[in-house]
Amino acid sequence: MKFDIYKNNKGFPTLGVEKEIDGSNHRWLFMPTDIVPKELEEDDEFLAKYSEVFTDEVKQNYTQYLESLKPSLEEQRKIDYRSKLYQINSEYEQAIAELSKGIPNTERETWGKQELEAKAYSLDSTSEIPFLKALADQRGIPLELLVQKVLEKSQLYSLAVGTYTGIRQSKEKELELEYSDIKD
């Protein structure tokens, strides 16, 4: 059995152990509070070295150090709040992304223009609507039909986005009430 003892950047010892078991080398790296694997728990040579390196004082100091790394209750509530808010927003973004799944970004960027031109045309059929005219010509469909489809899809998309946005805002409000005691 081979041992190596290191000090980590906080000054705590780390015990490296190499032992041959059933013809193959096994390696472990231990910190003061690590659980001993069953392959070593009855090995007297290891246990003696482990006790020498990891005295009760070292274990106690290391445990106190680990405890000092834990966030306070207030810090943990802030972490929980941010995590839950991130989850709410992620679910919202996923739902919105599903609405336009498979449609290239460049085409999605034209939706606002399509809607404006369709609304203009529905108010005045002599309106200049170059984008929709080009689109209808290339698709080989009547302009009136395209305008109707654009307005229908725009309304459906707005309804879906409005619904998802309302759900997100409602969840966020509930979260803010649950975590009203924290100052972020």
Query: Which is higher by pLDDT, 153 or 1?
Result: 153
Tokens of 12: 């705590």
What is the distance between the alpha carbons of residues 31 and 124, in angstroms, rounded to a whole number? Answer: 77
List the domain boundaries for the chain.
2-69, 73-178
Q: What are 64-87's pLDDT values in tens digits? A: 999 999 999 999 999 999 999 999
**pTM, to two decimals:** 0.66
Per residue, the 3-state secondary structure of 3-57, as one string, reads EEEEECCCCCEEEEEEEEECCEEEEEEECCCCCCCCCCCCCHHHHHHHHHHCCHH
The predicted structure's pLDDT at residue 184:
61
Task: Band the pLDDT of 95: cuts 50, 70, 90.
Answer: very high
Confidence check: pLDDT of 10 > 90? no
Average pLDDT over residues 169-178: 97
Per-residue pLDDT band for 179 (boundaries 50, 70, 90) equals very high
